[in-house]
Structure formats: C-alpha cells, structure tokens
Amino acid sequence: MAYVIRKMKQEDIKQIQYIAKITWNVTYEGIIPSDVQENFLKSAYSDERMKQRLDRSILFVAEMDEKIVGFANFSPIGKDGSVELWALYVHPKQQGKGIGSALLQKGIQIDGVNEIYVNVEKDNQIGKTFYEAKGFEVVKEFVEEFDGHTLKTIRMVLKLKKSHIQNSAC
C-alpha cells in the first residue's frame, strides 16, 4: 500500500495521539512501567500540547488510506543548523515498510538542516537499530529520572553530508 508524507494539520491531533499511545505501549513494554508511560502520554500528547507542537515545531505525518500511520516531530532549526528529533513513531503494524525512513527523510530535507539529534532509551532496540542504520552515531550516554523511573538514554546525531541531501530527493 502507498503512503503519503505531508505536514501535520490540527485535525490530525486525535490520530497522532493514538499512534503515540499504541507505539509507546508496544515499544516500551518491559522497559518503562505502564503507569509512567500513561502519565507521560497524557501530558506530552494532550490536546493543548499537540497544538503547541503544531505552532512551535515541525511535524510530518505518514498517511495511508486516509489514516495516519506515523509521524515525526522536529524542533525548529537552530542557528547552527541543528534540529532535535523529538518523536518518530510508526504504528507497529506498519513498521518495516519504509515509513519511518520517509519521515526521517522529510526532516533531512528541511532547508538549512545540517545535524539531527535524537535521544533514544538504551533498551529500545528497535529505535537504536533504526537510527544506527540511518547513520546516526552515539555522542553520549546518560541516566535521567523520568516520572520516578530511571532511564538510560543514548544521545545520537546524524551529521548531514551532501550525499544525504542528494539521496533524499528519491
């Protein structure tokens, strides 16, 4: 099935909230307690926070048969050409079909971007493998408190070269 990558609209919020919840629950099962996940999702993906994200950041959605199947949330571009990839989630049943790669490519194509940073939970093998395959490199590891739960986090960066930009035109 074909999918389309486009900028997010306000009417996409409910579908984004659903994708975030189902993907978080599958990805972090056994890594982050379910009550901690639910607290985070209620806060980070509330209607108000989603409207703020839409106004203050760059959001792309992947749409298949008029349903959102994934999304990516990038920060505004910093003066140094860097962006933060805050979220890249694809419905578990749609993973492995190139949708996450296409969403990442949209971020690579943002004018003026030369580095993309992302934080990944160390035990999130799916995320780590995905980012490593795309050329991200670990720049540091740290421990952080997350709603009373200790997370081991890996900070990764993708330094863009002309080849990434040229390949992104595919």
Strand partners, 83: 116
**φ, ψ of residue 3 in degrees (nearest 5):** -130, 160
Domain residue spans in the chain? 4-167
| pTM, rounded to two decimals | 0.91
For CA atoms 57, 62, 68, 72, the dihedral sign is negative
Tell me the two tokens of residue 15. 């579908």
- The DSSP element (H or E) to which 47 belongs, if any, is helix 47-56
Which pairing describes strands 4-7 and 115-121: parallel, antiparallel, or unpaired? Answer: unpaired
- Among 1.10.645.10, 3.40.50.1000, 3.60.20.10, 3.40.630.30, what is the CATH number of 4-167? 3.40.630.30
pLDDT tens by residue, 87-111: 999 999 999 999 999 999 999 999 9
Beta carbons within 10 angstroms of residue 69's beta carbon: 21
pLDDT tens by residue, 113-142: 999 999 999 999 999 999 999 999 999 999
Tell me the two tokens of residue 77. 């571009």
- The DSSP element (H or E) to which 48 belongs, if any, is helix 47-56
